[in-house]
Chain A
């Protein structure tokens, strides 16, 4: 992606740090010289519900919302949430999906089953699917809360900004004592996509 404008849709579960990830991405695009708009819903969403952020960049952005069928990149922090919002992807869009499964209440209480074959269904929506294990990467850094920066790192391979923008944004947005581990998480995420993403 080297285009002058784009739509990035982030989907996750309350508590996964998806909002902070979108803050860092938004800031990174601003530092990269783009106009940026970003929209999310707080409140009820904090309590383990589905959380989404619309992030748009370009020379001049009007609507803060992405329309279905027009996202260039879907960053999903949870597998089923990826599928829930996959219809936002444009036909050429790419998806970076954390393979982690988090049970919604109806599944956790045995009233419904967690859906099967999600990866297959996602592959049917986009030819550019990148499954990553962000939880494992975060746990290997001994910080489960770093899942979000691992995802930012992985997604950065598919976005047009230089690495310095993300790192500067991250330093500007996070409290100093957790900058170190989050930088590591970002790099670990970037490494996850290196082989396939490098040529893009």
Chain B
């Protein structure tokens, strides 16, 4: 009884995507658009398959994810404690610093990109630093707001028991602040992808952004689409993963408060628990570890390639890559 309804709603919700996919296939085939610039879906899928087969795609995917997650984690490590201190204890300093922080956060990150490349070179540091920079601000702001606006009654009922400072932090302030902090994290995560892809296009030897850029330089049009599809997919997955962790950390909110996106659609059918929060976090940690290994391997390969004749670069045919290397 429940299955048909579920299938129905799934069909309904995905009908837009389905129509889009069908158009993608038919429009180039019927020559409504130039199939050279817009290759039909089946060609792109075949290209994806080829890339998957050689392992190239998963390698670039892993590298991009690693950069995104590392940058995000670094931003968390900096912004969370800072936000808590500014929001809870140094409230005077927080309001004094606010104009400066706003100014910094409003600098267009794309304008900062060349600066980051200048300071950190085209190595991993630049990419991770760029991601950290853009995600830092929303996380910082939302952490300050979240910790500042904890219900004073809740603080009071804990204080009446004579709790210690750390107990107040861990048992009251943080749990109360988590939903709001997560809004900042998700805003940061959505920015991550724009900036990371741009950074990889400007100066990198790997990653999905590089893959697309490199394909464009070499007129490998289906490969551009294959890479772009994966970029969309990766952004979608990261957002989903964060929603998943968020929902499992804030089941207590019900559907009336907090983030409506996360709450409403989920509350009815699926109740995540702490286990799924652990699972979600485990996936992120896995990306961190595997990505780090892959990045190290790639960098060593690049070094080896640079010292001998650049066989690696030739394999991909990358004039753009070697010119960027001169930065």
Binding between chains A and B = no
Residues in A lying within 8 Å of B, measured CB to CB: none
